[in-house]
Amino acid sequence: MPIATPAAVRKQIHAGTTDAVYLLQGEDEVEKSALAHAFEELVEEGLRAFNVERLHTGDVTSGERLAAAVADLVTAARTLPMMAPRRVVIVLQAENLLVPKRESEAAARAHEELEGLLKAPDPQTTLVLVSGPLDKRSRMYKLLAREATLVLCG
């Protein structure tokens, strides 16, 4: 998938023609936060409570928590939009999902489930992963480079 600028992504949001998966990455936390918030504009304000979901993954430290967080993410991303054409799922501190602190069997299973979501995202959902810097050599980053629109902030 392409690498996009924050300005190009804002144009997509305003036009309502977003891609299925975005990875917002970089050092500029303010820009990443503002851009992630801008995705909420895809859903009419009165329907955001039903169709915009924010997941915080800062507390994902073990394989079991990673598995639970990925299960929550997949459920949120596969839920159909309610009274709206689109659903938005924003994952904050996504680096904790994408690069687990410790490898384990539970983490490996969770990554398989996450890979399945990234390879076949729901067409009615826009998934936004907000992450700090990632190792470009990692398997998950390579998958995201193929499947997601990469947005460099900062």
pLDDT attached to residue 123: 94
pLDDT attached to residue 83: 95
DSSP letter (8 states) at residue 74? H
pLDDT attached to residue 54: 97
For 76, the token pair is 């949120």
Helix (H) or strand (E) holding 63: helix 63-78
124-138 residue pLDDT tens: 999 999 999 898 998
Rounded to a whole number, what is the distance in angstroms from the first to the last CA of the chain?
20
The dihedrals phi and psi of 54, each to the nearest 5 degrees, come to -110, 130
79-125 residue pLDDT tens: 999 999 999 999 999 998 998 777 788 888 999 999 999 999 999 99
> Helix, strand, coil proportions of the chain in percent (round to 5)?
50, 20, 30
Is 1 a residue whose pLDDT tops 70?
Answer: no
Mean pLDDT of 34-43: 96
Distance between CA atoms of residues 27 and 3, nearest Å: 16
Mean pLDDT of 56-80: 92
The dihedrals phi and psi of 34, each to the nearest 5 degrees, come to -65, -40
Is 2 a residue whose pLDDT tops 90?
Answer: no
| 93, 61 Cβ separation under 8 angstroms | no
pLDDT attached to residue 92: 95
